[in-house]
């Protein structure tokens, strides 16, 4: 039976949850305050409801104690919230961040997690040698140090969680990843610098990456507050790590024209993909997610409705676009659609040539579920008609840039190129934002602030030339009229 204690305008609902190992009674508490304006009868009725619900949770074991360790709560958060509410790619990225978080604060109880612990973690992340891509090689006598601790390599492998093959390689001086170096060092009981040296230039995590860790921890702890496990979020009392503001790389008008010319010598699929990205400003996953039913040849329109993503261990699959506003319709030039028609003809010929080797996506699944099957015709596919891995176009474009001595731009730079050229051409920020699929125009303004300032300066010069034509000499250059 729940016990109700009134303190001022707040009620504490207390329920017994049995006894601990020492025979001490375990009590669970829930604070509840009535809404302003509630009558005494309404308060009595709602209290009874809250008490019954809380008692049911306690007896079923679904009430989480504030003494729970961060790692255990984060595991519950992933299972009960993240996996049901968040995109697969987001869940995968969180899964990559959590091991390092667990290593630092996973053992700390939520009710004892203080801001200084978080600050120490962020400061540690900002140190040199924390970037996962950094390789390390062992200092002399690593094998002797391991043998002192463990009877065999296999025993040490179980202790460290690293394969025995990797450990043997490290002992022979072979490079290992930062994650492996940290795990081996932790098992030996010391910092990485006691057992390993970085190979080449020491790398640091970017401020943006450190901020990703902060945001994930804050999201987990905020849910702990919402679930009434803790009263406040320690992250709210911590200065968020600073993220570096990087200027977006893009091609100027002449460089973009040059790229389009170079593409004429490339395979039709690659030519179409890159040209489409330049003309549309789509994300690479959105382009890979296009189906021929999304293409309106009559009106030169492309409907962006989904994206293709790749997750290691899970493969390539379709998903929703990044945000709701990313579902959009983009009108392209006749030149782009001429190329699309050419590519469509090529793909139709390939499908006929391959015959039964051309895969109809999801046919087997539809037949297994006894549903009517409608072939899904992807624009950009592997050789046999399956959806393309977005990473493959990224790596191809990297080689294309290198082969042609182009400026160091990435596949995402084509999106920036599209936006910058539109702004320079006089398109208003709302139009640019809609075509890019940004949820807010402020996002567009922040990313392309430099391009907007340049366009504004050009507009000022244009207005001056129109209103003060005498300020131009016979060569078309400005002259001093003072």
- Write the DSSP assignment of 398-466 as a string of letters: HHHHHHTT--S--TTHHHHHHHHHHHHTT--HHHHHHHHT-S-HHHHHHHTHHHHHHHHHHHHHHHHHH
pLDDT value at position 471?
53
Least Cα distance to 62 among 17, 13, 111, 26 occurs for: 17
pLDDT for the residue numbered 482 = 47
User: Any idea what the Cα angle at residue 42 is, between residues 40 and 44, rounded to 5°?
Assistant: 70
Fold of 127-198: 434 Repressor (Amino-terminal Domain) (1.10.260)
Domain 253-422 in CATH 1.10.443.10: yes
pLDDT in tens, the chain (482 residues): 788 888 888 888 888 876 655 667 777 777 788 888 889 899 889 888 888 888 877 776 556 777 889 999 999 899 889 998 888 888 988 998 998 899 899 999 999 999 999 999 998 887 765 555 567 888 888 989 999 888 888 889 888 888 888 898 888 888 888 778 888 988 898 888 889 887 765 567 778 888 999 999 999 999 998 887 888 999 999 887 777 666 668 898 999 999 999 999 999 999 999 999 999 999 999 999 999 999 999 999 999 999 998 887 778 878 877 777 789 999 999 999 999 999 999 999 998 998 888 876 555 555 666 766 667 789 999 988 888 888 889 889 988 999 999 988 889 999 999 988 888 888 888 988 889 988 888 878 877 777 777 766 666 665 566 566 555 555 555 555 44
CATH class of this structure's domain 70-123+206-237: mainly alpha
Q: Which helix (H) or strand (E) holds 97?
A: helix 88-105
CA-based R_g, the chain, Å: 30
Residue 249, pLDDT score: 80
Write the DSSP string, 330-357: EE--HHHHHHHHHHHHHHHHHHHHHGGG
* Boundaries of every domain in the chain: 3-60, 70-123+206-237, 127-198, 253-422
């Amino acid at each position: 039976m729940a016990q109700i204690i009134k303190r001022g305008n707040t009620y504490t609902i207390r329920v017994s949850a049995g006894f601990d190992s020492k025979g001490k009674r375990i009590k669970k508490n829930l604070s509840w305050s009535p809404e302003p304006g509630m009558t005494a009868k309404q308060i009595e009725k709602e209290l009874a409801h809250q008490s019954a619900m809380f008692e049911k949770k306690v007896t079923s074991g679904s009430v989480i104690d504030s003494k729970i360790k961060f790692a255990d709560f984060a595991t519950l958060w992933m299972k009960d919230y993240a996996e049901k509410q968040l995109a697969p790619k987001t869940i995968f990225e969180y899964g990559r961040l959590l091991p390092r978080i667990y290593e630092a604060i996973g053992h700390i109880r939520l009710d004892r997690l203080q801001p200084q612990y978080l600050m120490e973690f962020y400061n540690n992340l900002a140190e040199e040698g924390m970037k996962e891509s950094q390789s390390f090689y062992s200092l002399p006598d690593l094998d002797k140090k391991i043998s002192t601790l463990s009877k065999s390599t296999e025993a040490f492998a179980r202790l460290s969680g690293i394969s025995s093959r990797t450990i043997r390689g490290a002992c022979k001086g072979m490079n290992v990843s930062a994650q492996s170096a940290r795990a081996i060092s932790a098992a030996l009981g010391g910092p990485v610098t006691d057992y390993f040296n970085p190979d080449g230039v020491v790398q640091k995590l970017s401020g943006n990456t450190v901020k990703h860790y902060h945001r994930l921890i804050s999201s987990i702890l905020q849910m702990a507050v919402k679930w009434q496990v803790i009263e406040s979020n320690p992250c709210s009392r911590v200065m968020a790590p600073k993220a570096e503001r990087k200027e977006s790389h893009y091609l100027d008008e002449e460089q973009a024209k040059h790229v389009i010319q170079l593409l004429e010598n490339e395979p039709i699929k690659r030519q179409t993909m890159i040209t489409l990205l330049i003309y549309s400003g789509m994300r690479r996953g959105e382009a890979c997610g296009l189906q021929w039913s999304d293409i309106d040849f009559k009106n030169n329109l492309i409907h962006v409705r989904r994206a293709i993503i790749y997750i290691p261990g899970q493969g390539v699959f379709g998903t929703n676009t990044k945000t709701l506003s990313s579902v959009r319709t983009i009108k392209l030039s006749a030149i782009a659609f001429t190329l699309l028609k050419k590519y469509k003809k090529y793909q139709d010929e390939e499908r006929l040539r391959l015959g039964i080797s051309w895969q109809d996506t999801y046919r087997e699944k539809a037949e297994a579920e006894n549903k009517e099957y409608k072939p899904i015709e992807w624009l950009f596919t592997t050789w046999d008609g399956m959806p393309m891995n977005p990473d493959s176009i990224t790596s191809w474009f990297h080689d294309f840039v290198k082969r042609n001595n182009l400026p160091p731009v990435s596949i995402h730079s084509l999106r920036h190129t599209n936006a910058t050229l539109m702004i320079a051409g006089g398109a208003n920020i709302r139009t640019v934002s809609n075509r890019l699929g940004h949820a807010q125009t402020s996002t567009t303004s922040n990313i392309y602030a430099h391009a907007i300032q340049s366009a504004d300066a050009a507009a000022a010069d244009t207005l001056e030339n129109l209103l003060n034509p005498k300020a131009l000499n016979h060569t078309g250059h400005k002259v001093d009229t003072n």
